[in-house]
Every structure is written in C-alpha cells, then in structure tokens.
A and B are shown apart, each in its own frame.
Chain A
Amino acid sequence: MKRPILLAGAAVVIASAALAVVRWTAPAEPRLVLPAVEQFRPGSCRDAAEAVRTLARLTHADDVTTLTAADRTELRRVQERLDTLRPAAPAEVREPMAAVVLSLGYLRLRLDSRTAEPGYLHDVETARAALERTCVSAG
C-alpha cells in the first residue's frame, strides 16, 4: 500500500517540476501597456477611452477561444458605447471608431454562432489599436 502512495507522490513532484521548467522557459506574455485616460484627446476620444482600454484587455490574450460569456457581454457593451459616441465624433475619429464597431459586430456574431476564428479577434485589435493611435496622437 505504501509503495503506490510513494510512486504517486514522486509523480506529482516530477510533474510540478516539469511545469515550472516549462513556465520558466516559455516566452512571457507581453505586458499590456495602455495609455492613461488623460492621454486621450478630450471630447469623443476621451469619452471612448474606457471602452478602448477595456477592449484592449479583452483582445490582449489573443485567444478567441478563451472569451467567456461575460466577455461577450462586455464586448457588446463596448460596441454599443462606441456606436453611441460615433455620430458626434470628429471626422478623423469617426472612421476608425466605425471600424471598431463593425469588427466587433463580426466577432460577436461569430462568437455567438459558435464559429469564431482567431482572425476576427485580430481584426478587432487592429481596429482598436488604430482608434487608440488616432485618439492619443491627436491628444
């Protein structure tokens, strides 16, 4: 009886050690660096800052399969927020904001249909980053 317990214990120790080695040697996930809200240009950009930053957190993992039901709800909230802000935004902001709204629509549709692919998350991040650049550089 003791022998199997010892063997099992040894297996756990070895597995833990292996996991630690893998984690140590694997490339670290890039740290998410976001501009502060104050860096967003006042007006529509500043109003959109929270949504843009939230979206960055959702796209940062770069894994469409890990998005949860709560994430999907958050994506919808962000999309609606940007869609609300878009009509009053300056022309140079309106276009990248519309691109985020549209790419979010495609992503959400695919997520809800259980047919999401990585490209849709990438497209959202690409559009989001463009909006962020527009808003921050214009600030």
Chain B
Amino acid sequence: MLQRSSRTALGIAAALTAAACVASLAPAVTQASSHREAPLVAGEPQLDNTDVYAFVSPDAPNTVTMLANWVPFEEPNGGPNFYPFASDAAYDINIDNDGDARADLIYRWTFTDNYRSKNTFLYNTGVVTTLDDPDLNYRQTYKLEAITESGSTTLINNGRVAPSRVGNASMPNYASLANAAITPLPGGGQTFAGQADDPFFLDLRIFDLLYGGDFSEVGQDTVGGYNANTLAIQVPKSVLALGGDATRNPVVGVWSTTSRQRIEVVDTLNNRNRYGGWQQVSRLGMPLVNEVVIPVGRKDEFNATAPRNDGKFAQFVTNPEVPRLVEAIYKIPAPATPRQDLVEVFLTGLCKACGPVAVDLNSQRLNRDVDPATFVPSEQLRLNMSVPPSATPNRLGVLGGDNAGFPNGRRLADDVTDVTLRVAEGVLLPNHPAAVDGLGDAVDTNARAFRGTFPYVALPNVIAVNQN
C-alpha cells in the first residue's frame, strides 16, 4: 500500500518520517456528506465537513490543489465569537493512491486558540491590518502534519489562520489578511487555513419534497452569501502519487475527515475536558453522498466509517432512492438496478475494467503499480492528475466533455448537483432518455467569482445574508 521512497527525493517525503503508522494515527477515515447532512453532525458545525475539492492547479499544473470546507452556513455577521475551527478536533485531508481504501498520506490540521485579553467581549479591539496586529484579540494557530505509514512529520508549527471577516470597519483590507495566511510548505507547495465564501452552489430546497413537490421550485442558490472555513493545500503531483511517480500512477483518491476525542467531561465551570483518542465523526469525498444516498438511519454511522468498510453501504448506491423519487413524481422509469454505473462513479472510479461506463479515467486501478487484487471499492473523490487543466472549463465536467472536471476530481466551479442528478438518472448508461441530460437545479454558478490563484476560493462575504 505504501511506497514512499521516491517521495523523499522531492523533499516532501522527508516530511513524512516519524513514529506511528497511518492506521494508528488515523482512526479510520472515510468520506461523504455535505451541509448538516447527518443528525449528529448537524448539531456540531465545527466538525461538519461540507465539501471537498481536488483539481490540477490551473496556474501551476505540476501541482494539485485540495480544499476542504467545514462549518456550514456561517452568517457573515455572526459575532462576537464568529467562526473558529475546533481546538479539540483533527481536520484531515486523506489521500489513497493505491486503491486499497486506506489513506497513504494524511494532511492533518490541529488548532490552538489564543486571546490577547479575555477581559473584553470583542474579537478585535481596533482596526486589524495584519495577522499579528495587537488589535486582533482572538487568533488561531495551527499545526500541520503529514502522516504516512512510516510516521508523522510536522510541516508547519504555529501557522496562522486568517481570521473571520468581522466587517469593513474592523478589517478594511481583508484580502491582505487572507493572503498573509497563505503559508509555504517545506519541499514545495503552500497551504491556507481561514474563512472564505462557501463555494458550493445549489438549491437546497431539494429537501422540500424535491424542490416543492417536484422540481418546479429551482433556481435559488441557497448557500449564496454564507461563508465556510477552508483548509487548502497545494502540493506537487509527485507528493501524492503512488511511488512518487505521477506519470506511472496518476490517479489518487481524496476525502476529508474530522475526528474528535472519544470522551468528554464537563466540569462545574463548564470547562470541557476531552481525551480518549481520536474518533472520526465526519467524512466527505464525493459530494451529496451522505445527503441523498445514505438513509437517515445510517448517516451517523457512515460519518464514522472508514472507506475500507464502505461495502456495507453498497446497497444504497446500487439501489438509489433519488431515481425512485423522480419516477414517483414524473413517471419516468428509474434505471434498472443494481446500478453498476453508480458503483463506478462513487466507489471505484471510472475504468473499462470497473463497470459499464466503458472509459478509462480515474480509478486507481489505472495506476500501473497497483495490484487490482488489492483494490477495494470505496467512496472517494478520485482525480486523474494526468488530465491537464481545461482552457475552457465546462461546469458539467466530464458530462460536458471536459475531463478535467467532476467526477474526475472536483473544481470549485463544477456543478456537482446537476451532474449528480443526471448521473443518478442514468446519463452514463447507454440509451438513456435524452430528457435526463437536462436535469438540474437551475443554479449553474457560484454567486461570487473565484480567485485565480491559490487558494482560489472567494473572500468571505461581509454583508448579512438577509440584506442580500
């Protein structure tokens, strides 16, 4: 599963020397979800993965950028505490480059709270112009580790988190604060932690009996105007690839997870003491899986499940609920089950040997050094890093003839809702009805333009959502 030697040549593998093995350090990881998708995590927004993105960096095509978001529906003016990362959780981005459904490389962020004064209610006591500004009362710092089978290496200590965007009076040049939080990585690459506009765009009224009893109420970007907390990392492709060779082994699987300590004791002063080791409580790889594929009775379990155990959820992929709902509402027969096309998209990646979607695109089985016998189907966001960035990206990604987009990884502007709905209705199957090619929620772009350079997400919104 782990062949890290050539990574050392890049100086990144050096970051990956240490003590414990991946299995012991990473208490199982898996994926899938979105905003408030499962009963337990809906009450714990700091732990709630909302989305994961992975794409070949358009302005640095020798690198891959991975982004993961947490804390859904951040109203911009949510003071006085605004939106920190949890200081008692582990935020991970996991990479599986050999297809065994276990992380071969984990990037882990852990956070520390720092107050200049606890004798004020203010997040900042004056105008903030730098991350070290004495007027920035509350600051978060982080440690970033790279974890492999051979151990853990600290890449960054005391990294600085871009603060929540309090407002124009407090932070008149927020862009400079956000840019200052971009931190170079040893051996190449860069990382960012901080608030951003939530890049997801969709009409969440799908949960109102499919947009109001049918699809008639679509077109509202429900997430527009809200912020999220972003962790972003950009590294050379070779750092992610099996054996450090992105030419022979260009496909990787990516998912994010959140883990917390297993035991919490609340004392009489309301101090929370947590211990007992990490336990995964949220995961996200392919978008919308835990939202609309996994039934409510299994969502919390899914969030705690490692990808290598995803077989127990396979029935929900092969016999999905959404096409049955569409059939009930529109009398359009659901595609025949079991849906092996969905297994390919969500659990194996696309390859000719993987299933009925006869294209070689983004399964780890395409890596030359992968033994197909060790391949384990699991839900991940899979990216073939050999596909160069598109000069003219199509929001529908692969369905739109643009193989640099979803489900080959996921770019910020990819319309994963429309793609997922169409795929669920069988758009990848031969002889599917042409009508399903036009299925969608009529929200085609993000409300805010993305930035052209790392970390690409738009700056946080500052206007109250109810004023938009």
Instruction: Mark interface residues in A80-93 (1 if CB within 8 Å of B CB, else 0).
Output: 00010000000000
Chain A, Cβ-Cβ closest to B418: A113
**Contact, CB under 8 Å: B331 / A101:** yes
- Interface check B78, CB cutoff 8 A: no
**Contact, CB under 8 Å: B433 / A114:** no
- Interface check A40, CB cutoff 8 A: no
Interface centre among B214, B333, B435, B439 (most CB of A within 10 A): B435
Chain A, Cβ-Cβ closest to B211: A112
Chain A, Cβ-Cβ closest to B440: A113
Interface centre among A102, A114, A117 (most CB of B within 10 A): A114
**Contact, CB under 8 Å: B435 / A112:** no
**Contact, CB under 8 Å: B332 / A112:** no
Interface of A is mostly: helix
Q: What CA separation (Å) do A115 and B396 show in the bound complex?
A: 14
Chain A, Cβ-Cβ closest to B333: A102
Q: What CA separation (Å) do A113 and B438 show in the bound complex?
A: 7
Which stretch, B10-18, B157-165, B215-223, touches the partner chain A?
B215-223
- Interface check B41, CB cutoff 8 A: no
- Interface check A72, CB cutoff 8 A: yes
**Contact, CB under 8 Å: A113 / B331:** no
Which residues from 100 to 114 on chain A have a C-beta closer than 8 Å to any C-beta of chain B?
A: 101-102, 104-110, 112-114
Chain B, Cβ-Cβ closest to A83: B331
* Interface bracket on B: 20 to 34
Known interface pairs A102-B331, A105-B332. Does A112 touch B216 (Cβ–Cβ under 8 Å)? yes
* Interface bracket on A: 20 to 34
A83 vs chain B, min Cβ distance (A):
6
- Interface check B40, CB cutoff 8 A: no
- Interface check A57, CB cutoff 8 A: no
**Contact, CB under 8 Å: B332 / A115:** no
Q: What CA separation (Å) do A23 and B388 show in the bound complex?
A: 56
**Contact, CB under 8 Å: B438 / A110:** yes
Interface centre among A79, A101, A106 (most CB of B within 10 A): A106
Which residues from 328 to 342 on chain B have a C-beta closer than 8 Å to any C-beta of chain A?
A: 330-333
Q: What CA separation (Å) do A101 and B215 show in the bound complex?
A: 17
A120 vs chain B, min Cβ distance (A):
7
**Contact, CB under 8 Å: A102 / B214:** no
- Interface check B131, CB cutoff 8 A: no
Instruction: Mark interface residues in B317-331 (1 if CB within 8 Å of A CB, else 0).
Output: 000000000100011
Further contacts, 10 of them, CB under 8 A, given A106-B330, A112-B211:
A72-B216, A104-B331, A105-B330, A106-B433, A109-B330, A109-B332, A109-B436, A113-B442, A115-B438, A115-B440
Name 21 A/B residue pairs within 8 A (Cβ), A-sorted: A69-B216, A83-B331, A101-B331, A106-B330, A106-B332, A109-B215, A109-B332, A109-B436, A109-B438, A110-B438, A112-B211, A112-B214, A112-B215, A112-B216, A113-B441, A114-B218, A114-B219, A115-B438, A115-B440, A117-B438, A120-B435
